[in-house]
Amino acid sequence: MGPDLDRALREGLADACGFVAGALAGWWLGRQFGIDFVASPEWNARQLLGLALIVAGCGAGRWLARRLLLKGKP
């Protein structure tokens, strides 16, 4: 396997794991504050805050996963 393909596969794995883990962490944090975006059929400020937590978790999870999985790799 070439180095470019190896790096691309590691980046893809880091992105996927980071997105999923970050989204779950953001959803869990929202539920701890009493905001369950996934289970609510409404659209109000609380649900939008819950959605923002999930989206922020996706970004933070992707960033963290890339830092951890690609650390020290060329």
Structure tokens at 70: 């690609």
d(CA 9, CA 51): 29
Confidence at residue 42, expressed as pLDDT on a 0 to 100 scale: 84
CA-derived radius of gyration, the chain: 16
Residue 48: which pLDDT band, with cuts at 50, 70 and 90?
A: very high
Structure tokens at 64: 């963290």
Judged on CB neighbours under 10 Å (0-12, 13-18, 19+), 26 is buried
Confidence at residue 32, expressed as pLDDT on a 0 to 100 scale: 95
Residue 72: which pLDDT band, with cuts at 50, 70 and 90?
A: low
Q: How many CB atoms lie within 10 A of CB 34?
A: 8
Confidence at residue 15, expressed as pLDDT on a 0 to 100 scale: 92
pLDDT at 33 exceeding the cut of 80: yes
Confidence at residue 40, expressed as pLDDT on a 0 to 100 scale: 83
Global pTM reads 0.82
